[in-house]
Amino acid sequence: DAKTTQPTSMDCAEGRAANLPCNHSTISGNEYVYWYRQIHSQGPQYIIHGLKNNETNEMASLIITEDRKSSTLILPHATLRDTAVYYCIASNTGGFKTIFGAGTRLFVKA
Amino acid sequence: DVKVTQSSRYLVKRTGEKVFLECVQDMDHENMFWYRQDPGLGLRLIYFSYDVKMKEKGDIPEGYSVSREKKERFSLILESASTNQTSMYLCASSFYRAAPGLFGSGNEQYFGPGTRLTVT
């Protein structure tokens, strides 16, 4: 799995969009970008994944740059319940050796 | 919705006891995983299984064993619990979507709520 780099923490105002960046400059052509989040004292929750194209689901949008060296997870209208640690992972190993780094701690403030 | 359940949310055991942590998934997933999570160390993979009776060591298998007798159930066993095994234990499962040898899309993992184990 390619190494990913994320900011340690970010703040966001409630109701505003939260944009979480991730750098994966060594990503290989067959590696997907996955995002998970972990709310305090719970197991991680899968959010979204993508290869080249931008993706959107009911939880979030994923924007991947054309060179695939970075991506941004967008929570369009952040709520207090979105306060969590967000993990960005680049993987092609079927999850067998998924590496969860330190992630970004997102604080959504009222 | 995928459901991954773990047998206990909180568990307290004594040093030297044999401990069983059970995980059950209801989505017919081929792959199952056991992680532990410790402050400052993130999630670390202990063991995974890609089929019934099949298992592979992860990054930190020492002191642990696993059992997968049925597709939906993956057990983590601490043969003789020690205080350094006090941790949050997380089980996950995923659906193997790609042909053998090909990996990528759709291999997202679904996690259980975790078991916080304290060994005294």
Structure tokens at B89: 């234990």
The arithmetic mean of pLDDT across residues A69-87, rounded, is 97
The arithmetic mean of pLDDT across residues A57-75, rounded, is 96
Q: Shortest CB distance from A46 goes to which of B42, B104, B108?
A: B108
Tell me the CA distances in angstroms from B28 to B6, B31, B75, B86, one per residue in order. Answer: 16, 9, 16, 30
A-chain CB neighbours of B56 within 8 Å are 96
The arithmetic mean of pLDDT across residues B99-105, rounded, is 44
B-chain CB neighbours of A43 within 8 Å are 4, 90-92, 111-114
> Distance between CA B66 and CA B55 in Å, rounded?
8
B-chain CB neighbours of A45 within 8 Å are 111
B82 touching chain A per CB within 8 A:
no
The arithmetic mean of pLDDT across residues B9-32, rounded, is 95
Shortest Cα distance, chain A CAs vs residue B116, angstroms: 9
| Identity of the highest mean pLDDT range in B34-48, B72-86, B87-101 | B72-86
B-chain CB neighbours of A91 within 8 Å are 103-104, 107
> Distance between CA A56 and CA A103 in Å, rounded?
21
Helices (H), chain B: none
B64 touching chain A per CB within 8 A:
no
Residue, of A62 and B97, whose pLDDT is higher: A62
Contact A102 B42 (CB under 8 A): yes
Structure tokens at B97: 């979507």
> Distance between CA B94 and CA B21 in Å, rounded?
19
